[in-house]
Structure 1
Amino acid sequence: MTSPGSPLPRGLSAFPLTPLHDDALDTGAYAGLVARLAAAGVDSITALGSTGSYAYLSRPERALATRVAVEHAGDVPVLVGVGALRTRHVLELVEDAQEAGAAGVLLAPMTYQPLTPDDVVGLYEDVTAHLSVPLVVYDNPGTTRFAFTDELYGAVAALPHVASVKIPALPAQAEQARERVAAIRRHLPAHVSLGISGDAGAAAGLLAGCDLWYSVVGGTLPGLALALTRAAVTGDGAEALAEQVRLAPLWELFARFGSLRTTAVVAEELGLAQRSCLPLPLRGLDDAARAEVAAVLDRLDLRA
């Protein structure tokens, strides 16, 4: 019998970039991004997610980013990504996150050699044995190349300290999305929340019964993401879906250029990060693509 994980805030969890300058963490820009999210009133901040380029950063860089995030988040809980290829390194990152005052950790099963379900259960068993804060299970097959089954969700969610599962985008059709959420929930303990990722389908995911949105765009444009989230969770489905549709040009950029590269240009265009803020070898977008992002920001009036 395992003890329930501690609750984590529901609603909007915003994933900020971890901006670099001259191949080093730009602590000023990063502190500004985190403070911007706290001032906007997001429900939680997830530092060092995929949008935060965690896999490209060293342990000292990640420890520094964690300390900066916790320091500048005010009263907003900070979750910290602790994914790494080797369990020993994950445990080191967990130690750093907990010492810095993180409210929880986010863990995806990173791969080089393909992982088996037994490998993944073993990873989460080892990590949760060393935790004193809640854990979010991060299913991100587009990046990690490992996909959870519903049964694996259940096996991992039964472990101590597991508080939430972050799932990929749901089917576009509303009834199918609701059925998918219900199917996953049948495998989860009642205390484990379900969070949607894939920004283009966030409204549909929240309306299908997800508890929160783990948001890329929320890390740079928190007002936009909060408006959509609040509409969905207060039952104004028409408004939430209308906002989702209005933002279609932004989602199209995500689909064409990737959410990370697009978000980096958005941050740079808004003066929140210096140009070329991604870790090499990621070169970001060329001038033609940057111009397309800038045009969408203007068309959707997102520079305010």
Structure 2
Amino acid sequence: MSAWHVDPVELPDLARELYTADPAEFIPARDRHAAAAAERGDQDLAARLKKLRKPTAAAWAVNLLATREPRAMTRLLDLGEQLRAAQRELRGDDLRALAADRTRLLRELSGLAAKLAGQQGHPLTEPTRQQVERTLTAALSDPEAAQAVQAGTLAKPLEYSGFGLDELAVAAIRRTAARPKSQRKAEPRETQRSAAPGRAPGRSRREAGRREAQRSAELTGLREQLRHTDEQLGEAVDSLELAERDEREAEQRCEELRDSLEELRNELSRAERELREHRRQARTARQRQERAQRDRDALAERLRRAETPE
């Protein structure tokens, strides 16, 4: 391998090793690998390694899950394929069932990721667990996100975008939910009674009209209430998305600042070691200079005396 060639296997393997090891050791380990690559002449690999960023707690937990529980990840990705197929074919019944499976599996896998992190001495906070679940949801929703999660080298959690059911798929679910059981199995009793031969309607036309008007008014009121509630729900969803986005950005900024702070501390430690070494060298040089000056003064004095006639 030439000094400027990066082994296509070596970098992913090193990255996976770094991104699943103890996060506290990430930067020192990364720098050691980069220094080793530079020493053997692979400057390209060294530069790529130095660009790797320390993973956030959520990203690290997902990396653990992907590398140590590959079967769990396979279940997640298979479910994503099933959901997308049901969405394309507008199978409302299947979408409802798969959506319930999705909720259970996301809860199960985020709990498993938290367990793995706790076993490594880094228990997850509740906000971090939510980031884990959002990342798994992104993997469930998007094949590219799924590949990133499977690689086990995430540096930060993925953005949550939901499963992304389009309007037609949502309509299919609503049609299924709205269809009464009586239409699936038998006709309504009222219809059966009215269709029974030889039986009187049991109410006058006036009473039937009044009840129909009352029912129509109730339906109109309910529809108006539903419309108003939908508007409130939409506003609440927008507010939640904005708040969660701001929360994620703030958390990411904190993680980046922590990374920068840790790197600055490492730089400071190296600078302090260099300073101590330079001080030692300066002290040694100063002592040599003082000895040389004393020797010089002594020789000058001897010369002066030798040159002075008695």
Common topology (TM > 0.5): no
Q: Which has the higher strand share?
A: 1
Higher helix share: 2
Point out which structure has higher relative CO (alpha carbons under 8 A, 6+ apart).
1
TM-score (norm 2): 0.22
Larger Rg: 2
TM-score, with normalisation over the residues of structure 1? 0.23
